[in-house]
Chain A
Amino acid sequence: MSRTKLTAGLLATTMLVGTAASAQDVTLTIESWRNDDLTLWQDVIIPAFEAEHPGISVQFTPSAPAEYNAVLNSKLDAGSAGDLITCRPFDASLALYEAGHLTDLSDLDAMANFSDVAQSAWQTDDGSATFCMPMASVIHGFIYNADAFAELGLEEPTTVDEFFAVLDAIEEDGNYIPMAMGTADQWEAATMGYNNIGPNYWRGEEGRLALIAGEQSLTDPEWVGPLEQLARWGDYLGRGYEAQTYPDSQNLFTLGRAAIYPAGSWEITGFNAQADFAMGAFAPPVPNAGDECYISDHTDIAIGLNAASSNADAARTFLNWVGSAEFAEIYANALPGFFPLSNAEVTLEDPLAQEMISWRAECNSSIRSTYQILSRGTPNLENETWNASAQVIRGAEAPADAAARLQEGLASWYEPQQ
């Protein structure tokens, strides 16, 4: 015991002497779920920052993605978490802020580079405090095997009818599975299915906000529509799609066995590395020709400051840098498919990423309908939507029944819907 104290005392003295001698040699640790980006941070992002800020070194220490929230919360509660915290959007981070684990960052200069919409995922409900520096969003759409389309003489569909005509044509040809998706992991069905095609039905932000306000309900045609379309998808998926997992879907597509992949833009990096055919992307088809189009351009990832960090100054320096145009440029090009949220002009070199980001100009952007406020209670609307989307695709539940179940669950705790 006394030895621990002595060591601690010695350590503290050394640190004090260290800070007194020069305000340098601070090491910042970043908590993240992005195992996928480890080499990118180590080789590109951190060296770029450290070159400009001698004296601050940064360590990127991702943990297992599936365990991230649980691990992070435990570490924050016990006080052993890193200085910088990668933020999930909406309630998960809001809860951390309310529990006093994250610091208000509204006063950081770089925050001015982000629009209100970009900040909304990491703000208190009244918008008075922003507690994470936005990093990136992801866009939904469909990535397709361009070689297969050329071989079959198919064109990018723009309406739902054209979309099913394309699927029918691929099915008839028989060489490709029309669409690569499975229901085993459930979230594919909800994220790449429901929230991908949904905004065209509920008119993006308009419907999303009306649902939150209680002016629309999940049993309205705008909200049952996407489920009805999903119910038709089952016929175009591969044999045994009920047991097909997310990595299975990725592999089916990149090995050239499936023609269309309902996607999130985050797939681009992996697909570029793995597919040996040309790829293209089309935005979710609209229900009727001439309809305005809506896309899901979802605020996905940000970074905040651990309130218990002893290196707050250095961490703020780093966060300001994350908000800069320089970071946006590096990040967006190193990780095509994670699109910058800042107002800075960024040129993307990857054609597929360029295609998807160009939809921002043609269509109206929205975020996933279930994320803000509506997944605060029990039953959790997002988790219920996973289940419902998978059920509907498998034909185990009729779209109207699934919608009624979702509505009933939401109304059970969400006042504006009662």
Chain B
Amino acid sequence: MNKARRNPFNLAAAHGILIVYTIIALFPVFVILINSFKERRSIFREPLALPHSESFSTVGYETVFNQGDFFLYFQNSLIVTVASLFFVLLFGAMAAFALAEYKFKGNTLMGLYLALGIMIPIRIGTVAILEMMVSTGLVNTLWALILVYTAQGLPLAVFILSEFMRQVSDDLKNAGRIDGLSEYTIFFRLVLPLVRPAMATVAVFNMIPIWNDLWFPLILAPAEETKTLTLGSQVFIGQFVTDWNAVLSALSMAILPVMVLYVIFSRQLIRGITSGAVK
């Protein structure tokens, strides 16, 4: 251990920079949160003021809970997000392992093929996807969304995970092979725990567009029973009149579950690295 890494001045500077950036990151969020507790006039009269006795109002939250079943929407969003992430991570890691580990004909081409999906906005394939869901009877089921998001998440997952898997030590895997472990055991037991941080990153990466997506819920599963939170909040954004109280409240609440997921994944990220079992 050396002096520089312990230098209190450096540490103070680090805190300084991080605090400044944290303020920049959180200020707009703070603006949203305080305004979600104010009545409409005060939002625009004094957008920076904290809610006080005159301006305090939970009308937005009340509207949200009166219009539609927001607990159900929460649940739907959660199921779709978690299930999609599960499949993205599982299938993505398997494919990434195949690409990173084995030298076979067309390896690079396969890698490129699996990356094509991030180069074309998936929205333009909407009609074909919807036709497929209609013919398989999956319209207005959560499965339609889970399938689309899984497909949508795979290219990025494979791309990132294969890069990380190439960095996993060959010695470790070869040692496993000498011990007679099957390729599957090597993957699940030796490699997966090592790329946990990357898996957590991919999970975080993917969960946000899934959670916030409006387009596919609108098209594939607009029914009341399958509405997601983002779609549910959309009723407050009208053609001419937008109920900002309700929008701010609904979307403020929508931040929480993603935050929780993020904290879980980022824990995973740390644990994967510090567990030390494989180093």
Residue of A nearest to B220 (CB): A80
> Does B137 lie within 8 Å of A33, measured CB to CB?
no
Chain A nearest Cβ from B133, distance in angstroms: 8
Q: A35-B235, A266-B240 are in contact. Are A80 and B134 (CB under 8 A)?
A: yes
Any B CB within 8 A of the CB of A9: no
Q: A4-B136, A4-B137, A74-B130 are in contact. Are A35 and B218 (CB under 8 A)?
A: no
The bracket for how many chain A residues form the interface is 20 to 34
B21-37 interface bits toward A, Cβ cutoff 8 Å, 1 = contact, 0 = none: 00000000000000000
Chain A nearest Cβ from B80, distance in angstroms: 18
> Does B219 lie within 8 Å of A64, measured CB to CB?
no
Chain A nearest Cβ from B137, distance in angstroms: 5
Interface size on B, residues (CB 8 A): 29
Any B CB within 8 A of the CB of A289: no
> Does A36 lie within 8 Å of B240, measured CB to CB?
yes
Residues in A neighbouring B112, C-beta threshold 8 A: none
Residues in A neighbouring B133, C-beta threshold 8 A: 78
B221-279, CB < 8 A from A: 222, 234-242, 244
> Does A255 lie within 8 Å of B240, measured CB to CB?
no
Residue of A nearest to B140 (CB): A80
Residue of A nearest to B241 (CB): A270
* 8 Å CB contact of B241 from A36, A62, A79: A36
A36-87, CB < 8 A from B: 36, 38-39, 61-65, 67, 71, 74-75, 77-80
Q: A71-B218, A71-B219 are in contact. Are A65 and B238 (CB under 8 A)?
A: yes
Any B CB within 8 A of the CB of A34: yes
Any B CB within 8 A of the CB of A251: yes
* 8 Å CB contact of A255 from B45, B237, B238, B239: B45
Any B CB within 8 A of the CB of A378: no
Q: How far is the CA of A7 from the CA of B138 in the complex (A)?
A: 13
Q: A78-B134, A255-B44 are in contact. Are A62 and B218 (CB under 8 A)?
A: no
Chain B nearest Cβ from A163, distance in angstroms: 24
Residue of B nearest to A35 (CB): B238
Any B CB within 8 A of the CB of A247: yes
* 8 Å CB contact of B240 from A71, A80, A251, A270: A270
Q: How far is the CA of A266 from the CA of B136 in the complex (A)?
A: 42
Q: How far is the CA of A79 from the CA of B130 in the complex (A)?
A: 9
Q: Secondary structure of the A side of the interface?
A: helix
Chain B nearest Cβ from A152, distance in angstroms: 22
> Does A36 lie within 8 Å of B239, measured CB to CB?
yes
Any A CB within 8 A of the CB of B214: yes
Q: How far is the CA of A77 from the CA of B45 in the complex (A)?
A: 46
* 8 Å CB contact of A64 from B127, B137, B234: B234
> Does A38 lie within 8 Å of B131, measured CB to CB?
no
Any A CB within 8 A of the CB of B40: yes
Q: How far is the CA of A63 from the CA of B231 in the complex (A)?
A: 9
> Does A74 lie within 8 Å of B240, measured CB to CB?
no
Chain A nearest Cβ from B58, distance in angstroms: 19
Q: How far is the CA of A61 from the CA of B68 in the complex (A)?
A: 12
Any B CB within 8 A of the CB of A112: no
15 examples of A-B residue contacts, CB within 8 angstroms: A4-B137, A35-B236, A35-B237, A36-B241, A38-B67, A63-B222, A63-B234, A64-B214, A64-B218, A64-B234, A67-B218, A78-B133, A255-B41, A266-B240, A267-B240
Binding site for A on B (CB under 8 A): 40-41, 44-45, 67, 126-127, 130-131, 133-134, 136-137, 139, 214-215, 218-219, 222, 234-242, 244
